[in-house]
């Protein structure tokens, strides 16, 4: 049985971390499979990816504590690099990604959700970075991504205290974009993914790149990043046909990704 599964529904991919007996905890096998599954995604046909966890209880309850407990310093660094490389691959995947957080998202699980573009949560979701209670720092980008998403004060409060927060607080601090009853979460995630998939794929991908790359540099450089990506859209058939449809006051044809 695969520990990471990928299902395709029309132009939407659904990636499931499938280790429910351990609340989908990330051991090295899960992380390696995640790496391979991400590599297997054809970003020219899949237009949006949903990431979720198997079972009713957890998105991902963190890195595998049993496996981590005996690591040496060198092994700890290697494990951190393995996770960081894969999470960065997810973060920079050219297509939009949505984390459908269906339960515990702790430690590496919270970090996995933060490597996605958008987070939707069930009412049962719980977020946190409990690492300092285990004698370690967050190791898969938590100190960096949480501060960028919720601000430095809130991130430091959560990380220093190791306090878990429930879905309403995650919504209030901007960690998640919406909260739904558990039984509605996947349908809502799929609805959002389908809506994204219906937009011009090259433009959507350019928006992701512009936001991700532009926010890493100062504003003078950032607007140049945007200008170049904006310009590149004018080489596409989708831009020409959508604008022609607007001018001719008719509905545009489905986008062709070219």
Tell me, by CB under 6 A, how many residues bind ligand DAK: 24
Q: Give the residue nearest to ligand DAK (CB).
A: 139
Binders in 165-224 for ligand DAK, by CB under 6 A = none
Residue 90 engages ligand DAK in binding (rule: CB under 6 A) = no
Residue 111 designated active-site: yes
- For residue 236, the number of C-alpha atoms closer than 13 Å in the C-beta half-sphere is 20
CB 258 within 8 A of CB 223: no
Residue 131 designated active-site: yes
Residue 62 engages ligand DAK in binding (rule: CB under 6 A) = yes
Provide the H-helix boundaries in 173-216: 185-197, 201-214
The token duo for 103 is 């339960």
Rounded CA Rg of the chain: 19
Mask for 4-33, x = binds ligand DAK (CB under 6 A): ------------------xx-x--------
The token duo for 87 is 């999470």
Least gap, CB of 14 to ligand DAK (angstroms):
23
CB 128 within 8 A of CB 148: no
Binders in 96-125 for ligand DAK, by CB under 6 A = 104, 106-108
Binders in 139-168 for ligand DAK, by CB under 6 A = 139-140
In what side-by-side order are the strands of the sheet with 126-128? 58-60, 104-106, 126-128, 165-166
The catalytic position among 111, 183, 235, 248 is: 111
Give the 3-state secondary structure of residue 70: coil
The catalytic position among 77, 131, 184, 226 is: 131
CB nearer to ligand DAK: pick between 159 and 200: 159
Residue closest to 211 by CA, chosen among 200, 225, 196, 201: 225
Q: Which residues are catalytic?
A: 111, 131
The binding site for ligand DAK (CB under 6 A) comprises: 22-23, 25, 61-66, 76, 79-80, 83, 104, 106-108, 130-131, 134, 136, 138-140
């Amino acid at each position: 049985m695969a520990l990471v599964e990928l299902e395709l529904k029309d132009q939407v991919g659904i990636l499931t971390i499938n280790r429910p007996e351990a609340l989908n905890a990330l051991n090295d096998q899960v992380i390696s499979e995640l790496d391979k599954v991400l590599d297997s995604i054809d970003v020219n046909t899949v237009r949006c990816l949903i990431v979720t966890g198997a079972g009713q209880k957890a998105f991902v309850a963190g890195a595998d504590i049993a496996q981590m407990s005996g690591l040496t310093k060198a092994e700890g660094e290697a494990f951190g690099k393995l996770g960081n490389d894969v999470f960065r691959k997810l973060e920079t995947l050219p297509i939009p990604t949505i984390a459908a957080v269906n339960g515990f998202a702790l430690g590496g699980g919270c970090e996995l959700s933060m490597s996605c573009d958008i987070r939707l949560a069930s009412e049962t979701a719980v977020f946190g970075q409990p690492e300092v209670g285990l004698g370690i720092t967050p190791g898969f980008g938590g100190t960096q991504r949480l501060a960028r998403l919720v601000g430095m004060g809130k991130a430091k409060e959560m990380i220093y205290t190791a306090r878990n927060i429930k879905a309403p607080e995650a919504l209030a601090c901007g960690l998640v974009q919406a909260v739904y009853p558990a039984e509605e979460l996947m349908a809502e995630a799929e609805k959002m993914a389908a809506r994204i998939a219906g937009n011009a794929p090259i433009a959507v991908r350019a928006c992701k790149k512009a936001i991700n790359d532009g926010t890493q540099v100062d504003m003078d450089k950032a607007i140049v990043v945007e200008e170049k990506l904006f310009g590149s859209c004018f080489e596409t058939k989708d831009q020409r046909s959508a604008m022609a449809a607007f001018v001719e006051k008719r509905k545009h044809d489905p986008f062709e990704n070219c």
